[in-house]
């Protein structure tokens, strides 16, 4: 039963990551150029942005919960090495940056709209483009492959 549960957790983690990064790539490569060219009505572009925002929030929560379970599971196994922990730390740090970028892009309501942006908010806005999110997501995917390679190498030895 534990193996089936972990398989489900890994699957949910992967699906959430693919949905978020894949949606970002779609926006970056298809929707934004079409919108800028006037091929997509502004109302449709706004609707797609709002709906994608909901997907991002769901993906973030899914990734945090499933990622937490996977971290504790992997680090408690015999295959957990210093190399694995180091790459995992890099992946978690980049994921935290990605979450911070995504949270910085979410529209704020209320008093936040009246304030002038802080230095931190300005930095997030400058770095928080869809381009940055897509690039970070692809790098994080690459680190996932490195982690899998490390585990497989440890299982062979």
Show the tokens assigned to 52.
């994608």
State the total domains in the chain: 1
Distance CA 142, CA 106 (A): 26
Domain limits for position 13: 2-156
Q: Per-residue confidence at 92, pLDDT binned at 50, 70, 90?
A: very high
pLDDT tens-digit readout, 3-39: 999 999 999 999 999 999 999 999 888 988 898 899 9
Distance CA 51, CA 94 (A): 24
pLDDT tens-digit readout, 135-152: 999 999 999 999 999 999
Taking the model in full, what pTM does it have?
A: 0.79
């Amino acid at each position: 039963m534990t193996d089936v549960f972990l398989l489900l957790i890994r699957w949910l983690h992967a699906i959430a990551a693919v949905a978020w990064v894949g949606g970002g790539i779609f926006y970056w490569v298809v929707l934004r150029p079409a919108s800028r060219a006037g091929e997509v009505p502004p109302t449709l572009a706004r609707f797609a942005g709002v709906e994608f925002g909901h997907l991002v929030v769901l993906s973030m929560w899914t990734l945090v919960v499933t990622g937490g379970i996977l971290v504790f599971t992997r680090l408690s196994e015999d295959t957990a090495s210093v190399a694995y922990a180091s790459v995992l730390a890099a992946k978690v740090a980049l994921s935290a940056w990605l979450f911070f970028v995504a949270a910085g892009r979410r529209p704020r309501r209320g008093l936040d709209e009246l304030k002038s942006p802080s230095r931190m908010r300005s930095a997030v806005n400058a770095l928080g483009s869809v381009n940055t999110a897509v690039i970070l997501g692809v790098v994080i995917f690459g680190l996932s492959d490195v982690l899998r390679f490390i585990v497989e190498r440890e299982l062979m030895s």
